[in-house]
A and B are shown apart, each in its own frame.
Chain A
């Protein structure tokens, strides 16, 4: 089960936009690791966060509940949450749990970057 251990990296995509790459099992530990990265980026002034789930194939509702907490925190700060590289099942799970009602979903990081840059220029 070690291959399912979450791997996280965080970076700035552009000014005020942070990206978190997460691959592995998004359970309570995985969700918390993403939340810690989100808090770091928000502490650096990011109000838009992109979570790239390339390499993540299995999730559970406890982990996704933590993503809902990140969403809520960003909404309180008038920020935005976006996801990319979701498998069809993760996409459907997010739809069932309401994440896609409040967050943006893009097929890959390039599409997300282009859309977020477009939003910023308006």
Chain B
């Protein structure tokens, strides 16, 4: 099973991608909690791509068997300036409370909510690949 979406940058379009996660995750037999976790990670990846990518966002979702473990694979691709994923700080409440800006949670949430996350970024292309196992730890 594979779904490919090209999302324009319009308000709340990330919910279309979340709906695709819900549909494909449900078809794979994922627990509702895992589907919702993957949906939030998808929303965050889309928001990052739309904010920093400078144009439409390509989404690919597919089922996979990784080491004989069925999983949902999500890829979010944009064509912005790129960034160094290793340099992106892990956010925390103590870091943002008292600061004017409380944003910058996207990558932190994606890494915590998904089972595997890989980010490859070069000028002109950033690809966030995420994996959620059907039998994931809660």
Contacts and interface: CB of A to CB of B under 8 A. Distances in A.
Majority secondary structure of chain A interface residues (helix, strand, loop or mixed): helix
Contacts, number: 78
B113 interface: yes
B92 A98 contact: yes
B105 A64 contact: yes
Interface string B97-121: 1100011011011001100000000
A25 B18 CA distance: 12
B102 A92 contact: no
B interface majority secondary structure: helix
How many chain B residues sit at the interface, stated as a range, is: 20 to 34
B126 interface: no
A19 B67 CA distance: 48
Interface in B78-135: 91-94, 96-98, 102-103, 105-106, 108-109, 112-113
A98 to B, nearest CB: 2
Given A62-B103, A96-B109, A89 B12 contact: no
Interface stretch (A38-46, A65-73, A107-115): A65-73
Interface in B28-82: 33, 36-37, 39-40, 43-44, 47
A87 B27 CA distance: 21
A72 B45 CA distance: 27
Interface of A: 1, 4, 25, 27, 57-62, 64-66, 68-69, 71-72, 87-89, 92-93, 96-99, 101-102
Given A60-B43, A65-B105, 18 more contacts: A58-B40, A58-B43, A60-B44, A61-B44, A62-B47, A68-B93, A68-B96, A69-B102, A71-B97, A88-B33, A89-B36, A89-B37, A93-B40, A93-B113, A96-B105, A96-B108, A98-B94, A102-B97
